[in-house]
A and B are shown apart, each in its own frame.
Chain A
Amino acid sequence: MTTTALPTYEDATARFEPVIGLETHVELGTQTKMFCGCRTEFGAEPNTQVCPVCLALPGALPVANRAGIEATIRIGLALNCEIATWCRMARKNYFYPDMPKNFQTSQYDEPLCTDGYVDVEFEGKQYRIGIERVHLEEDTGKTLHVGGATGRIQGATESLVDYNRAGIPLVEIVTKPVPGLGALAPEIAKAYVTELRDIIRSLGVSDVRMEQGSLRCDVNTSLNKPGEEWGTRTETKNVNSLRSVERAVRSEIIRQASLLDEGVRIIQETRHFHEDRGNTSPGRSKETATDYRYFPEPDLVPIAPDPAWVAELKAALPERPSSKRARLREEWGISEIDMQSVANAGAVELIEETIAAGASPAGARKWWMGELARRANETGIELADIGATPAQVAELQKLVDAGKLNDKLARSVLEGVVAGEGDPAAVMAARGLEVVNDEGALTAAVDEAIAANPDIAAKIREGKVAAAGALVGAVMKTTRGQADAKAVRDLILARLS
């Protein structure tokens, strides 16, 4: 094999056309597991959320969770899918210790939702991504391999299994193959997963957090020369962030182009994405893949959603996040990029509600995207869980607008609100943070500053108005920042005119 340098991405996409496909797993946020009554809390002590059913004790039987079926149908509807009027769960048979039954209850040739699409916007253009199917299945347990160097099963001396996750409902969303994206394939892939995440979040059926694994993505990539048949695809797993979706496709395009350049055949295989290195390495080869021996799950009755119920669910779908964002962007008067950051921060609804509670769009956005986003980032919690409500933020902004708080004081009040000290007005009173508006007190402070700085006062009298800043600073100092700077400035100029 020659050791030619890797082609550049631009070079690769100039000569080859990529076809991509995405398989996304979404862990549903149901209260209980898909086939038993066990709780689903993230991060619980290992093997504390288990029962005879999800441990697959002999004799135990599954019963389907209606909430899981409903959430799957709502996702399907939001992705413009057809909803099956009758379908069955299927058993996917393979041996693995993180699967208590040694089969996964899933769906095979009768998925709950089929044939939909998602419109994805990128740089002002729309791309339609076809949805092949949306089906319901259950999650497996988690294995921890101890004693090996890699943490993988190879070389481990002991394997520990936590079945808390086993049986949590998972929804798998599979796109149709997407050709024709050219060099934009990685970015569109990322935009698709982002859009999917936003849609699912708007449905309230999952918290869709990639870092916690409640949204997981596998990316299929193949290359072909223009006009030729599609190439052999690889499936890249372990793609655990939006950024990685883009990087995984990009690195796979470069890798495959380099092999094709050398005349090497692409093997259909599963590859592992490495976040740190930004590239993929081979995993299990699909050519020796297990025969899953799918067959309809005889322990569960078929799922036959009443069309009237499905129609109700459809009518009650929330506004599509992308059109909602376009509408709000218009209403708030902000740029596409600013809107994107609002969406990425999970702040769309929070800002919307803050405005509904009486704040101006600019004011609402300023607090959520500024002070509160900073705190959320620092503490690593979601903005929605920060401890301040839209109503409180609106009240804070009203106090600022009324001149009772300045920016600096408002931050202190917000700190109190987040710390659970009460609503803004109460925090302001308790902490004694109100702006000094008392005319008498201000006049005294101003006179004191003028008397203490005769040189500056003289300059202002001569018309050098810019010098007033120094006196404002002095007054703010004596009032411990609680004066309204504009009022102070006006007063100084009035006294010295």
Chain B
Amino acid sequence: MSDLTRMSAVELAGAIKSKQVSAVEVAQAHLDRISAVDERVHAFLHVDAEGALAAAARVDKGEVTGPLAGVPVAVKDVIATKGVPTTAASKILEGWRPPYSATIYERLQAAGTVPLGKTNMDEFAMGSSTEYSAYGPTNNPWDLGRIPGGSGGGSAAALAAYEAPLAIGTDTGGSIRQPGAVTGTVGAKPTYGGTSRYGLIAFSSSLDTPGPCARNVEDAALLHSVIGGHDVRDSTSIPQPVPDVVAAARLGATGDLTGVKLGLVKEFAGDGSEAGVTAAFRESLEALVKLGAEVVEVSCPNFQYALPAYYLIAPSECSSNLARFDGVRYGLRVGDDGNRSLEEVMSLTRDAGFGPEVKRRIILGTYALSSGYYDAYYGQAQKVRTLITRDFEKAFEQVDVLVSPTTPFVAFPFGSRTSDPYQMYLADLFTIPTNLYGGPAISVPCGLSEGLPVGFQIMAPTMADDRMYRVGAALESAVGTFTPPAL
């Protein structure tokens, strides 16, 4: 058997099913890899070796079957996992072990996947570099001095470092796709409501979307099909089956895109993307044309307002969602010495428990929702959101999918964007419109710029997740996958 950690999820599942290798051996190989490299990568906040081996043993005994049975998966630490520490990379939840599991985690377990542990992220999923993790950043396996993207940098880095073949991310403004892009891995944000949010620690309820991360498109599609679908515990979950994303990925892999119309968003051109990013994107576009696709320029005039609208809506919702972290029922409690009032204890707890970016957004959101400002900020942002949705709907009357670079720049060095929040926010310039609209989008590696990966984003209409997998797999068949230098 070749190196188990280099195999795809599809290959691993096949090998386990045909008893060429046991699920326990596969789990152990990945745990060994984590032991070997994670000190340098820091993709994981918690490794659940015991739980992983037990889950693998159940697969080997034949207790669980399925297309991903026995395949290890890394889970972003923002997903509640019963009995397994869940912190959202925040000090305020240090040591918290949830008494319940997120729906998608239950589905992962029911499908026989082998959860390896919890991955690092920006605190409460707020950030684009993992530099805002309260437990220290994750290092990009392509260059350990650079960021792995964020917020789900841990999940993406775990894939790129061959610590896991699959990972779960959550995407509020690009937190699956941008880390995918800068680590040379695949990250898909499903249609909002297509994957359950129950048990996902909320950042921005109307935007948060859990989704799959993998090293290739078909693996991502398989993981998507396992975690997706209606959940009665999430009122915003769509009561429809997930489109057949696996079949779409396999169709795309045949390399035929005849008749598929790709929309090029006019307003994204010349938007400060690095030259290398633009070049890799253009070359990939040509490759897709060779596969039969047609490129059509479309106008989405309101996309330019996406970033400011997002930075009103997301912080507003987060200011309310994070109010529950008060030290009363769980997590950190500071200053409860019998002399301080409840209000003082809450205040001290939140001051000590939240990091700078989380505080910044809570303050921003609290302000935006304040009486007298609501209409001008939150209300106005919601109107922009409607206009952006209309832009998407109009565009999809002309084309099947929209395409763009995933992020304007490749992995940047640590510390280069933390002093100016706006520079950090620009990382999500191309990913945010999709979140405001609620549609699906995927980032697929499409080339290198100065030795660092560039991501190609494909955006599809809501509940047409299959389209992005088809185009994504076709792109992959044309440009191949990208392997980082040995660690």
Contacts and interface: CB of A to CB of B under 8 A. Distances in A.
A52 interface: yes
Contacts of A293: 319-320, 366, 369-371, 374
Given A60-B198, A60-B199, A63-B233, A55 B320 contact: no
Interface string A152-168: 01000101010000000
B340 to A, nearest CB: 11
Given A57-B98, A58-B86, A301-B236, A97 B323 contact: no
Contacts of B366: 293
A292 B343 CA distance: 17
Contact of B235 (A55, A62, A291): A62
A300 interface: yes
Contact of A61 (B96, B198, B326): B198
A52 B235 contact: no
A100 B329 contact: yes
A101 interface: yes
Contacts of A93: 319-320, 323, 369
Contact of A161 (B80, B198, B328): B328
Chain B contact-residue range equals 35 or more
Contact of A57 (B99, B200, B235): B99
Nearest to B81: A59
A299 B232 CA distance: 13
Most central of B232, B324, B343 by chain A CB within 10 Å: B324
Contact of A159 (B96, B205, B317, B342): B342
B463 interface: no
A127 interface: no
Nearest to A299: B205
A216 B197 CA distance: 36
Given A153-B342, A295-B378, A57 B330 contact: yes
Most central of B80, B232, B320, B338 by chain A CB within 10 Å: B320
B232 A63 contact: yes
A352 B184 CA distance: 78
Contacts of A135: none
Interface string A477-497: 000000000000000000000
Nearest to A300: B235
B198 A91 contact: no
A61 B236 CA distance: 10
A159 B329 CA distance: 12
Given A52-B99, A57-B98, A293-B371, A298 B342 contact: no
Interface in A65-104: 91, 93, 95, 97, 100-103
A288 to B, nearest CB: 14
Contacts of B202: 58-59, 299
A380 to B, nearest CB: 35
A100 B206 CA distance: 21
A293 B367 CA distance: 9
B100 A55 contact: no
Interface residues of A, number: 32
B39 interface: no
A interface SS class = loop
A91 B343 CA distance: 21
Nearest to A291: B371
A64 interface: yes
Nearest to B90: A58
Contacts of A300: 235-236
A56 interface: yes
Contacts of B371: 291-293
Contacts of A294: 369, 374
A224 B370 CA distance: 33
Interface in B189-213: 197-202, 204-206
B284 interface: no
Contacts of A61: 197-198, 233-235
Contacts of A58: 80, 86, 88, 93, 96, 98, 201-202, 324-325, 330
A56 B324 CA distance: 7
A295 B326 contact: no
B324 A59 contact: no
Contacts of A59: 79-80, 98, 102, 198-202
A100 B342 contact: no
Nearest to A102: B323
A93 B378 CA distance: 15
B444 interface: no
Contacts of A295: 316-317, 320, 369, 374, 378
Most central of A95, A161, A300 by chain B CB within 10 Å: A95
Given A60-B199, A61-B197, A61-B235, A95 B326 contact: yes
Contacts of A52: 98-100
Interface string B57-92: 000000000000000000000011000001010000
B387 to A, nearest CB: 18
B93 to A, nearest CB: 7
A100 B328 CA distance: 9
A218 to B, nearest CB: 21
B317 A298 contact: yes
B326 A102 contact: yes
Contact of B338 (A97, A157, A301): A157
A269 B99 CA distance: 42
A301 B235 contact: yes
Contact of B323 (A60, A101, A291): A101
Nearest to A62: B235
B454 interface: no
25 contacts: A52-B98, A56-B329, A57-B98, A57-B99, A58-B93, A58-B330, A59-B98, A59-B200, A59-B201, A60-B199, A61-B197, A63-B232, A63-B235, A93-B320, A95-B346, A100-B324, A100-B329, A102-B323, A153-B342, A159-B342, A291-B371, A294-B374, A295-B317, A299-B202, A300-B235
Interface of B: 79-80, 86, 88, 93, 96, 98-100, 102, 197-202, 204-206, 232-236, 316-317, 319-320, 323-326, 328-330, 338, 342-343, 346, 366, 369-371, 374, 378
Given A59-B80, A293-B369, A298-B205, 9 more contacts: A57-B329, A58-B324, A58-B330, A61-B233, A62-B235, A63-B234, A93-B319, A97-B326, A101-B324
